[in-house]
Amino acid sequence: MASALFSFPNPVNEVSARLVAGGVVILSTVTIVLDQPWISALIAYGFVARALTGPKLSPLGLIVTRVITPRLPVRAKLVAGPPKRFAQGIGAVLALTAAVLALGFGQHLAAYIVLGAVIVAATLESVFAFCVGCAIFAGLMRIGWIPEAVCAECDDIWSRVPAGG
């Protein structure tokens, strides 16, 4: 049961990933603009939950995958899961850093600078479908730091797209 809980979806619907990224942009922006550093803990929890379990334990992930995406008149766009999980892991490190800076050390400006980096990456994902973490993952695969076996389907993800999609 624990292995099912800590599994990550593969493939991932990029439509949902982009919507979650949009939610992260909104939450991070609200945190900074309204000077509410406690929200950084919620953002960090969301990233950790998504990195560990996909949307299963993430309130934002659940809202997007169970409520918003199914109601949109768009087809799913399937992409490989491992690079998206890697990207969520990077987001978790950044968001945890921001939360610790803000809540543990009272360094709000430093935390907001880190959240600014999260906003940039999440905006690229949400608006332009460019996943910074996925690009880093691909680069690490090219240089051999991530074995091809980790994501063999990364080269052939389009074979999963339904005909006419």
User: Which pLDDT value is given to residue 156?
Assistant: 52
User: Which pLDDT value is given to residue 75?
Assistant: 94
Res 165 pLDDT > 80: no
Mean pLDDT of 148-156: 75
User: Which pLDDT value is given to residue 1?
Assistant: 53
CA distance to 25, 102, 126, 127, 134, per residue, from 39 (Å): 12, 10, 20, 23, 26
Res 4 pLDDT > 80: no
Structure tokens at 50: 């998504």
CA distance to 67, 82, 139, 140, 148, per residue, from 145 (Å): 37, 14, 9, 5, 9
User: Which pLDDT value is given to residue 155?
Assistant: 60
Q: Which of 131, 135, 139 is nearest to 24 (CA)?
A: 131
User: Which pLDDT value is given to residue 101?
Assistant: 98
pTM of the model as a whole: 0.89
Res 118 pLDDT > 90: yes
Rounded distance between C-alpha atoms, residue 32 and residue 156, angstroms: 40
Contact 80, 157 (CB under 8 A): yes
List pLDDT tens digits, range 71-108.
999 999 999 999 999 999 999 999 999 999 999 999 99
List pLDDT tens digits, range 18-75.
999 999 999 999 999 999 999 999 999 999 999 999 999 999 999 999 999 999 999 9
Structure tokens at 118: 């999260």
List pLDDT tens digits, range 129-142.
999 999 999 999 99
